Homo-oligomer: A and B are copies of this chain.
Amino acid sequence: MGNDEHASPASEAWSLIWQVFSTREVHGRLHAACDELGLTPPLAKALSFLDLEEGKPMRVLAEEWACDASYVTSVVDGLEERGIAERRVHPTDRRVKAVGLTPVGVKVRDRLQEIMSQPPSGFRTLSESEHRRLRDMMRKVIAAMET
């Protein structure tokens, strides 16, 4: 990350973003949030994908998280133990279980989002209009990507 010549402004920008994620400040905030909410980092990550109250089949979650189905089982077990999510049987296909948030889960997810969306300290050097431009750029980037 030091004094490298970057091929383009885009790649330098992206490397810098990566660097922000590598700071102890950002990692520390995730740990603090987990401690407060009684979660582990993987559970927190899983939770942030579960923003809809209508459930998602576990197989879909395995696809979205790019992990093995058996791991989805253990993660959903963890969320269920905490009363955050629940398995619901699919009306027509009794094999599939849809995972949805409980009312408690919605609260936990919102609180997690509240903590993690707090921008890192370095953002304070940007003006309000820069914040807006950054936001607008990232909206465009996200819109152009498959979640």
Contacts and interface: CB of A to CB of B under 8 A. Distances in A.
Interface stretch (A11-19, A79-87, A92-100): A11-19
B147 A123 contact: no
Contact of A140 (B11, B122, B142, B147): B122
A17 B138 contact: yes
A103 interface: no
A132 B28 CA distance: 29
A117 B11 contact: yes
B117 A144 contact: no
A21 B22 contact: no
Contact of A117 (B14, B48, B121): B14
B18 A116 contact: yes
A104 interface: no
Given A6-B117, A13-B119, A14-B120, A24 B144 contact: no
B135 A134 contact: no
Contact of A122 (B21, B24, B52, B143): B143
Interface of A: 1-2, 4, 6-25, 27-28, 45, 48-49, 51-52, 64, 66, 110, 113, 116-126, 128, 130-135, 137-147
